[in-house]
Amino acid sequence: MNNLINTELFEFETEAYRQGEFLTVSNQDVLGKWSIFFFYPADFSFVCPTELSELQKHYEELQNIGCEVYSVSTDTHFVHKAWADATDTIGQIKYTMLGDPTGQLSKFFGVYDENSGQAFRGSFVVSPEGVIKAYEIHDMGIGRNAAELVRKVEAAQFVEKYGDQVCPANWHPGEKTLKPGIDLVGKI
């Protein structure tokens, strides 16, 4: 697998579901704001609704820091709607759910599992310029932490704004950062 850090999004267009409506989302719609692409294996499954619900709990916080969320599975937008209609947990989701039945997005982001035709659990932080700044990929049975994903977005935004400073482990906005230089070598 190739490293995706600083890789630009490709031109894509896919059908999506959001709050009772179908829409088309393209790479152009992603530009101009921070974004999270949140891949999961399948609708109507087990770990997936726990993750999507947890991400929904942090959605307003993400919007407040200028970040949009796109969940993605290899299901269609029709299946996303059916899942939202059938399940109270998914029915409460306010962010956009992208359909990826051809696997084009899953393959680009390197999370497509050829054997199952599903996506591994991948979380990608994308800058307003459409450039991947952070990501993690989990096996299908390992759920993720949405609060940590928020922290990664905040850190990526800080580094983008203050390029001469970096964020140490467990950093949160308002905490001390580091300014790389010879004075820090061997002192941390």
Catalytic residues: 48
Distance of CA 158 to the CA centre of its chain: 18
Going through the chain in order, the beta strands assigned E by DSSP cover 13-18, 21-26, 34-39, 67-73, 96-99, 112-113, 118-119, 121-126, 132-138
- Phi and psi, residue 87, nearest 5°: -130, 120
User: Which H or E run includes 107?
Assistant: helix 104-108
Task: Work out the end-to-end distance of the chain between its first and last CA atoms, rounded to an integer number of angstroms.
Answer: 32
Largest CA distance in the chain: 58
Amino acid at site 81: K
18-26 long-range contacts, CB within 8 A, separation 24+: 18/94, 18/95, 18/96, 18/97, 19/93, 19/94, 20/81, 20/84, 22/77, 22/81, 23/96, 25/70, 25/96, 25/98
